[in-house]
Amino acid sequence: MKKIISVVGARPNFIKIAPVAKALKKYRKEVKHQICHTGQHFDKRMSEIFFDQLKMPRPDFSLGVSGGSHAEQTARIMLELEKVLAEERPDLVIVPGDVNSTLAAALVASKMGIPIAHVEAGLRSFDKSMPEEINRIVTDVVSDYLFVSEHSGMRNLRDEGMDDSKIHFVGNTMIDSLEANYNLIEECSVTKEMGLKPANYIVATFHRPSNVDNPEALGELIDTLSRLAKERTLVFPVHPRTHKNIERYGLNKNLPKGLIITEPLGYIEFLSLVRYAELVITDSGGIQEETTYMGVQCITVRKNTERPVTIDVGTNHLVGTQMEKVEKTALDILGGITKPGRIPEMWDGKAAKRIAEIIMES
């Protein structure tokens, strides 16, 4: 019997691993798959709700590590995870995405000589000021299976001299989750409950330190969202990092009526809002992909993206961080200047099945 441990910690990790857990269940006579939750995200609405809605098994191991500086968080996860891996001696560790939990798990497993599979390998923003870029590069270097979600990832890994036999173009497990839940998302009553008219409102999410960790940048962002909220109702489910900073900088005053600020939403509710939105404005990685899959216009408030297929093929508009440009592009889109898009290759809901087959064949 093979033993596999998937290590997850942050909101997008849960969504990327749920279909992998499901696909591995088919091989339960040959493989025992366990989940280790580092604790990086811990609020019910950032963690437990995804296990419930995506029908994931509860974590077999919980490390309870959250907060702290990057070094502190990564090091504490490493120390706790080492104990689990030493006890369990898995044949493979699976890590999704690009968060600190991903990096910490990859480092520990590689030092212990345990093979690693990286789900969402090869993405590059080519911007090392992003903590995620360091996490992606290091995780890929120590991984044995590089599971890639879009063509740019294949190119990047080959350009970095990775062994071709490790690289597998499998598609996107975040899209597997979306595809598997699409009926629930379409039928969800959240828009009605919030009194929103389909294709007549905006959804915004922000959590990148470059946008929310200083008072000027976050202040300008809230001002821009407030102006857009006079054109269309704007729903803003607020990430905990952003919430803390809005309070700290006193930016929650004099907000217009059209700006609906909520806690982070459940997976089904959030994606239902996105599905029927006229426009999404974000700095999220995953939401760039989900809007492309659903053909919803998306403005990405960043200088670069590690997911170029959403620009080249999808409905994503990468506009930088100048707020005049964000506002102008938003007004253009609301005025009908939209971008057609297609679903990228292999984003067909079967990525996790391919991953499980590759793991089980080798």
Q: Which residues bind ligand UD1 (CB under 6 A)?
A: 10-12, 40-43, 46, 66-67, 98-100, 131-132, 207, 239-241, 285
List the structure tokens of 348: 């067909």
Minimum CB separation of residue 161 from ligand UDP in Å reads: 27
Which runs of E-coded beta strand occur in the chain?
Answer: 2-8, 31-37, 61-62, 92-96, 116-121, 145-148, 167-169, 201-205, 233-237, 259-262, 279-282, 298-300, 316-318
Residue 237: contacted member of ligand UD1, ligand UDP, none (CB under 5 to 8 Å, by partner type): ligand UDP
Is residue 242 near ligand UDP by the rule CB under 6 A?
A: no
Site for ligand UDP in 284-343 (CB under 6 A): 284-287, 290
List the structure tokens of 110: 């590689």
121 vs 287, which CB is nearer to ligand UDP?
A: 287
Is residue 349 near ligand UDP by the rule CB under 6 A?
A: no
Is residue 153 near ligand UDP by the rule CB under 6 A?
A: no
Token pair 């992606």 in the structure block, residue: 136
Is residue 267 near ligand UDP by the rule CB under 6 A?
A: yes
Nearest by Cα to 61 from 80, 42, 41, 78:
80
137 vs 360, which CB is nearer to ligand UD1?
A: 137
30 vs 186, which CB is nearer to ligand UDP?
A: 186
Is residue 8 near ligand UDP by the rule CB under 6 A?
A: no
Is residue 271 near ligand UDP by the rule CB under 6 A?
A: yes
Question: For the sheet containing 2-8, what is the strand order?
Answer: 61-62, 31-37, 2-8, 92-96, 116-121, 145-148, 167-169
Q: Which of 125, 143, 205, 245 binds ligand UDP (CB under 6 A)?
A: 205
Q: Is 239 a catalytic residue?
A: no
Q: Give the sign of the dihedral formed by CA 159, CA 162, CA 168, CA 172.
A: negative
Residue 100: contacted member of ligand UDP, ligand UD1, none (CB under 5 to 8 Å, by partner type): ligand UD1
Minimum CB separation of residue 123 from ligand UD1 in Å reads: 12
The residue from 33, 37, 207, 317 that is catalytic is 207
Which phi and psi angles does 264 have, rounded to 5°? Answer: -55, 140
Minimum CB separation of residue 318 from ligand UD1 in Å reads: 17
The answer for residues whose C-beta is within 8 angstroms of residue 148's C-beta and 6 or more apart is 120, 121, 122, 154, 157, 167, 168, 169, 170
3-state secondary structure of 236: strand
List the structure tokens of 283: 């700095």
Residue 127: contacted member of ligand UD1, ligand UDP, none (CB under 5 to 8 Å, by partner type): none
80 vs 132, which CB is nearer to ligand UDP?
A: 132
For residue 95, CA distances in Å to 80, 81, 136, 252 come to: 16, 13, 11, 37
The residues carrying an active-site annotation are 207
Residue ranges that bind ligand UDP, judged by CB under 6 A: 11-12, 15, 174, 205, 207, 237, 264-265, 267, 270-271, 284-287, 290
